[in-house]
Amino acid sequence: MPSSHPLGDYLRARRELLRPEDVGLPAGQGLRRVAGLRRRVEQGQGANPTDQVLDALSSALQLDATAKSYLYSLARLNEGPVYPASAPVVERTGWLIESWPMTAAMILDSHHDVLATNSLMRSLVPGFKVGTNSLGAQLLDPSMRDLYVEWEGLSARSIGLFRSTSGPNPDARSRELIAELSRDSPRFRDLWERHDIIGMSEGTHPMRHPVVGDVSMHYAHLPLTGSGGCSIFLYYAEPGTRSEQALAELAAEG
């Protein structure tokens, strides 16, 4: 569950993941502790740390660009307005994705709840049902472990992406999801405490589909402008490949 000191929680979690050899110390000697401001920040006492301090912390903790941006958002914590999804935009985009015969697609809201799917997505990944949460489906639906060849890596990236998109000050729906998944998914509990931050927009997922066999699906995650934070998630295949043929078979059956 979110705590009253998200910045301190994040710094502690990232520090605890570092090994002595990661920071140039002999193994077994423990990490050097830095007294003063960093400790105060971890305890929630260092209000408004400067950019210089945040840059130094980012360097010491070996944060990448996405994680560094998240650190800055925690330090400048300021909850903005929450905009509801625009029903007309979502409805019309649902018509659009249904017209894509060779692209499996779904519409997600800002909490990764599934708002709409097209026919090919329903055939390719049946677990992504309208009304479910896509992260919850990945973690709790046993068929997902069978479908995604690299489920361990996928689940880790998805949890990191959810932490990134839920932000440093999660709203009521995000807090509800965090509580549910912490209760029901050991995988989520373990990785949520790591405070990993992932920025993900495109890549490839190898799948082992029960109907068409092994396929390699390229994916993309695209923002849906004017929708209140919704996005389109889609799978497509490289032209001329066995995976494209498999998608055509699923499209014909759908």
Three-class secondary structure of residue 119 per DSSP: helix
- Cβ(164)–Cβ(174) below 8 Å: no
Same domain, 52 and 168: no
Regarding whether 223 and 99 lie in a shared domain, the answer is yes
Same-domain check for residues 52 and 102: no
Distances (CA, A) of 198 to 66, 97, 102, 195: 7, 26, 28, 10
Rounded-to-integer distance, Cα 68 and Cα 59, Å:
9
- Residue 21 falls inside a structural domain: yes
- Among 53, 75, 97, give the residue marking a domain's end: 75
pLDDT (0 to 100) of residue 39: 59
pTM score above 0.85 = no
H/E stretch holding 106: strand 104-108
Asked whether residue 247 is domain-assigned, the answer is yes
Same domain, 52 and 94: no
The closest alpha carbon to 253, from 146, 119, 163, belongs to: 119
Q: Which helix (H) or strand (E) is 205 found in, with range?
A: strand 202-209
Domain count, the chain: 2
The two structure tokens encoding residue 155: 């689940």
**69 inside domain:** yes
- What residues does 203 pair with on adjacent strands? 219
49, 75, 101 - which closes a domain: 75
Half-sphere CA count of 129, side-chain side, radius 13 A: 9
Asked whether residue 1 is assigned to any structural domain, the reply reads no
Residues 58 and 147 in one domain: no
Q: Any idea what the Cα angle at residue 237 is, between residues 234 and 241, rounded to 5°?
A: 170
Report the C-alpha gap between 169 and 180 in whole angstroms: 17
| Domain match, 140 and 222 both | yes
pLDDT by residue for the chain (254 residues), tens digit each? 555 577 778 888 878 877 665 555 555 554 444 444 455 655 555 556 777 777 788 888 888 877 776 777 777 664 444 445 567 888 999 999 999 999 999 999 989 999 999 999 999 999 999 999 999 999 999 999 999 999 999 999 999 989 988 888 888 999 999 999 999 999 999 999 888 888 767 899 999 999 999 999 999 999 998 888 899 999 999 999 999 999 999 999 87
Together in a domain, 120 and 196: yes
Alpha-helix residue ranges (DSSP H) falling in the chain: 6-17, 37-42, 51-60, 65-75, 87-98, 119-124, 134-140, 142-147, 151-166, 172-184, 186-192, 242-253
Distance of CA 47 to the CA centre of its chain: 28
How confident is the model at residue 211, as a pLDDT?
A: 96
Note whether residue 81 is domain-resident: no
How many Å apart are CA 37 and CA 75, to the nearest integer?
A: 14
Same domain flag for 248 and 150: yes
Is 118 part of any domain?
Answer: yes
Count CB neighbours of 160 within 10 A. 22
| 214 sits in which H/E element | strand 213-223
Tokens coding 132: 């479910």
Q: What is the pLDDT of residue 82?
A: 45
Distance CA 196, CA 77 (A): 18
Is 16 part of any domain?
Answer: yes
Q: What is the pLDDT of residue 1?
A: 52
pLDDT value, residue 190: 93
The answer to whether residues 151 and 38 belong to one domain is no
- Tell me how far apart the alpha carbons of residues 166 and 169 are, in angstroms, rounded to a whole number: 7
Which of 18, 46, 75 lies at the terminal end of a domain, its last residue?
A: 75
Of 158, 143, 133, 147, nearest to 212 (Cα)? 147
How far, in Å, are 120, 156, 232 from residue 243 at the CA level? 13, 25, 21
Residue 67 sits in the same domain as residue 165: no
For residue range 64-92, list pLDDT tens digits in order: 877 776 777 777 664 444 445 567 888 99
My answer on whether 120 and 208 are in the same domain is yes
Answer for the pair 250, 103: CB distance below 8 angstroms, yes or no.
no
Do 66 and 94 lie in a common domain? no
> Domain span at residue 192?
87-253
Residue 156 lies in a domain: yes
